[in-house]
Structure 1
Amino acid sequence: MRRDLAQLVCAVAGVTLGVLVPRLSLGPQVDAGPVVTLLFTLGFGVISLVSIIYSMLFLVIQFSATTFTPRLGLFRDDPIVWRTFAFTVGVFVFCITSGLAVGARRATVSTLVPGAAMVLTLVALALMRSLQTGAFRSIQLGHSLTAIAARAHRLFDDLYVRPYAPGTSPDPDPGPDPAAGTTTVLWSGPAVVIQQIDVRTLVGAARERDCSIAFLLPPGTTVSRGMTLAEVTGGDVPEAVLRGALETGVERTFDQDPDLPFRLLADIALRALSPAVNDPATAVESLDRIEDLLNRLVGRELSIGHFTDGSGRLRVTVPVPDWERYLRTAVDDVLYAATGSPMALRRMHDLLAGLAERAPESRRGPVRDRLRWVDRAGRERYPLAWPGGASPGGASRAPRRA
């Protein structure tokens, strides 16, 4: 909506200025004929920048999809793209409108008109330069990984505000008695991805009907016709109300999907470790960012899916990833793929070893399980390159295979 509104605002502003500015009599006056020619030239010259914008979009999207992951749309969603497009449209509309206004009614015109057109054109070129720089950065691995991590940091800081302290979080009032009956709400629309859930609206609807709503699908999940969307206890909430509180689309977004950054980084690492690419150094860089994000979450309270009303009664629950889920998404797939590369497997070992040291005791079990698996795989596959994999005399301590 912001993209469409920006284009509309710039177009309306271009028409308004194109009609009003030629009527001003400020400053020196010049012949209208050359000014009209200049305005039309600038207008059609600026609008040609739109083709360059789309060319860069296609280039970056195709490169990112084939080199990194098809789910990476950072440059496509960057505000500089649609803001540059909207401003370029506004400059085009201004130049054409003011050219028609000057040519139709005036023999002379203020130098303010060509001056304004030149200034707007220079601003459009500056935006174009920023867009070009952003496009070049978006096809670089380091910038893409940093952009994913930066968005993940903002998302984690918004969602997980409390430190992890087992047993200190008070349980909310459970809300309506389950004996009052539970109604299952099925999804009746086409297959879509749940991008955001408007919890505030749902809490108000549940409080109004004195019931509780338990979503069974978290943001980032694809829901198709006939799937169970939620269970309502103690009352009845129509599917239309639940669907009205959802923002859906065709792909996952960063808004309420904290599992997405790990999915993107793991996809980049998996593609780099595939036999067709065989680029373990890229996988190691992805693991660096994965370790950073896991360290950011290991000490935070992840159980944030319970929402109460003003009286403290539980009204809405939303499934959210737990520590085990984050490890599965971030580590497991890459862990098995990394067995074909000693560089990637050693980096995975260091990641898990450091995470096991920093994690609270209640969260160390899953990390240690994976660390033991990696250590065993490293000793068996790379006894000479793995720490402790060979004896001082050179004989491998790993068991021999037939």
Structure 2
Amino acid sequence: MPDRSKIAARASGLIGRLCSRMWVVPVLCLVGGVGLCLGTLAIDRATGYRLLNKGLIGTPSNAQSILSAVAATMTTLIPLVLTITTVAVQLAMGQFSPRIVGALLHDRISQWAMGLFTATFAFAIVAMRNVQASRNGLPGLTVLTAYVLVLASVVCLILYVHHSSRSLRAAGLIDLVGDHTHREIDRLYPVEPEERSAPRSDITEALPTAQTGVPHDVLNTGEPGILIRFDLARLVQLAARADCVLETVPVMGDFVHGDSPLFRVRGDMSRLDQAALRRAVLLGDERTHEDDCAYGIRKLVDITERSIAVPFNDPTTAVQSIDRLHDCLRQLACRPFPSGRHRDKDGTVRVITRSLTWDGFVRLALDEIRLAGCSTPQVTRRVRALIDDLKRLAPPERQDPLDRQLRLLEAGVRRAYDDEEDIATALTADYQGIGSGSDITR
């Protein structure tokens, strides 16, 4: 009997990889357009071409002219979508961060717009041929469906232009990354997870005595790549079958070299299916948001740094990006972090994964921005507002990383300015950078 969990995991991985490809939706829509046309033609033939009144659909010559115009128009709209996407990619790479390109290419609205235009084109081509070949009458349902697809394409074009104009804005690109990161934090760090955070120091104590000896490494014998996903259900199953404990070596988003360790195994290696173990690890050529919310924070930091660097010098965009970083850290501030322990059905720890701590997220979000932006008042004021807000929100055990950031921010600003008034101004909390601080409002 096939292993259902294994099949489900592989199917999920395949679907995830396909969904990340820009061409999948347009190709499926192309096939769907041909299939829809063949279906409506079959219905028309079955009803003797009398299903609809000619007053509704026109004459065969009218239908041929309209379908021909539709096909020609769709061949123009499809390159238009590609052109707008290319412009957005070039803008993002040049001004913000090359890592935004993946999010733009995976934009579902662009994919479905291209898919609808492609489906309409395919439908019109197949319908036009059959309208010309039909001698018994006009396939009314087919022609009417073509008209509906044209109207849908017009509406889609209007909505797509509106969407694209918003996406080309700095705020639109920042929100694209921020929204992805927000959703991934909600998924990976739920308000009430099944298991709360546990100190790393007591991992060995929680393992059976036979599994606390010298660990053995399982190496990556395949191609090098960036760690994108662990099939945790499969790993737990393999570890339980071999009665051992697996500790993952790379963290999500790490580059895994050839022949570098993937796992450290505590227990009997002879019973472990190492080939299946390696297949449960997905490596790729680029980090993704899925299972890796730190990647979204990494992008936002890149945007912030580039915005305040020469020649861009755009601190307002930097403030917008810090707004989304603030949102991400606010989500994480009070939520319990997963312990990284994954148990089998008997409650025994079988897989231990590594992930960022609260201190790690704070440093990832603020260290580089603080170092790069100490001489930019808008940035320092906005960062000060972020830290003050998190200190009011975070529990006592998470205050130390914030105190460290505040101390280093003050030291950096003092190094950047000589005048005490400038120092005081740069260290005043302000959610707008300069615009809502206590020193300029009342």
Do the two structures share a fold, i.e. TM-score over 0.5? yes
Q: Measure the CA separation in 2 of the matches of 1:58 and 1:330.
A: 29
Q: 1:342 to 1:201 in 2, by over 3 A?
A: same
Q: Distance in 2 between matches of 1:339 and 1:63?
A: 27
1:265 CA displacement: 1.2
Q: How far apart in 1 are the matches of 2:232 and 2:197? A: 25
1:124 has 2:163 as partner: no
Of the three residues 404, 408, 430, the one matched with 1:369 is: 404
The partner residue of 2:53 within 24, 28, 37 is 28
Native 8 Å contact 2:178 2:324 kept in 1: yes
**Higher mean displacement: 168-177 or 355-364:** 168-177
Does the 8 Å contact 2:131/2:139 carry over to 1? no
2:374 to 317, 333, 339: 339
**Residue 15 of structure 1: aligned partner:** 34
1:167–1:389 Cα change, 3 Å: same
Alignment of 1:8-87 (within 5 A): 8-22=27-41, 23=45, 24-29=49-54, 31-72=59-100, 73-87=102-116
Q: CA deviation at 1:332?
A: 0.5
C-alpha separation between the residues in 2 aligned to 1:174 and 1:206? 13
Computed over aligned residues only, the root mean square deviation of the Cα atoms, in angstroms, reads 2.8
**Which residue in the other structure is 2:423 paired with?**
386
Q: What residue in structure 1 maps to residue 176 of structure 2?
A: 147
Deviation at 1:99, TM superposition (A): 1.5
Structure 1 residues 339-374: Cα deviation after superposition (integer angstroms, max 9, x where no partner):
221221222223223323332222212221221121
- Please say if residues 371 and 412 of structure 2, whose CA atoms lie closer than 8 Å, have aligned partners that are also in contact: no
Q: 1:117-136: CA deviations, max 9, x gaps?
A: 11111212222333222221
SS in 2 for 1:74: helix
SS in 2 for 1:194: strand
In 2, the alpha carbon distance for the partners of 1:385 and 1:348 equals 16
Of 293, 316, 330, the residue aligned with 1:258 is 293
Contact 2:197 2:339 in 1 (8 A): no
Equivalent residue for 1:330, pick from 352, 357, 365: 365
What TM-score does the superposition give when structure 1 sets the normalisation length?
A: 0.88
Cα distance in 2 for residues equivalent to 1:311 and 1:367: 39
Gaps of at least 5 residues in structure 2 are: 1-17, 428-442
**What's the CA shift string for 1:43-75, capped at 9, x where partnerless?**
232132111111011011111111211111333
**How far apart, in 2, do the equivalents of 1:33 and 1:163 lie?**
65
Show CA shifts across 1:92-133 (max 9, x none): 221111221221232630443332211111212222333222
Contact 1:194 1:247 in 2 (8 A): yes
State whether residues 197 and 338 of structure 2, in contact with CA within 8 Å, keep that contact through their aligned partners in structure 1.
Answer: no
More divergent stretch after superposition (202-211 vs 140-149):
140-149
Determine which of 296, 307, 322 is the counterpart of 1:287. 322
TM-score calculated relative to the size of structure 2: 0.80
- Structure 1 residue ranges without an equivalent (≥5): 391-402
- Quick check: 1:161 aligned with 2:190? yes
Shift of 1:5: 5.5
The alignment partner of 2:262 has SS state of strand
- Given that residues 224 and 283 in structure 2 are in contact (C-alpha distance below 8 angstroms), is that contact kept between their aligned partners in structure 1? no
**Structure 2 partner of 1:230:** 263
Tell me if the contact between 1:10 and 1:89 (Cα under 8 Å) persists in the aligned partners.
yes
- Is the 2:211–2:267 contact (alpha carbons within 8 Å) kept by the matching residues of 1? yes
The residue that corresponds to 2:221 in the other structure is: 188
Alpha-carbon distance change, 260 to 367 in structure 1, aligned in 2, over 3 angstroms: same
Q: Is the 8 A contact 2:229 2:283 kept in 1?
A: yes
Check 1:259–1:168 CA distance in 2 against 1; reply closer, same or farther (3 A cut): closer
Q: The residue matched to 2:252 in structure 1 has which SS?
A: coil
- The structure-2 alpha-carbon separation of the partners of 1:328 and 1:379, relative to structure 1 and needing over 3 Å to count, comes to same
Q: Structure 2 vs 1, CA of residues 21 and 314 (structure 1 numbering), >3 Å: closer, same or farther?
A: same
Question: What is the deviation of 1:315?
Answer: 0.9
CA apart distance, 1:31: 4.2
Equivalent-residue separation in structure 2 for 1:298 and 1:5 (angstroms): 38
- Sequence identity of aligned pairs in percent? 25
SS in 1 for 2:264: strand
Aligned residues: 390
Q: How does 1:202-213 map to 2 (within 5 A)?
A: 202-213=235-246
1:308 aligns to 2:333 (yes or no): no
Q: Equivalent residue of 2:229, what SS?
A: strand
- CA 20–254 in structure 1, closer or farther in 2 if over 3 Å, else same: closer
Aligned to 1:398: none
- Asked whether the equivalents of residues 273 and 283 of structure 1 are also in contact (C-alpha less than 8 Å), the reply is yes
Deviation at 1:226, TM superposition (A): 2.2
Report the equivalent of 1:268: 303
Question: Given the superposition, is the C-alpha separation of residues 6 and 357 from structure 1 closer, same or farther in structure 2, using an over 3 Å criterion?
Answer: closer
Judged with a 3 Å threshold, the aligned counterparts in structure 2 of structure 1 residues 35 and 67 are, in CA distance, closer, same or farther, namely: same
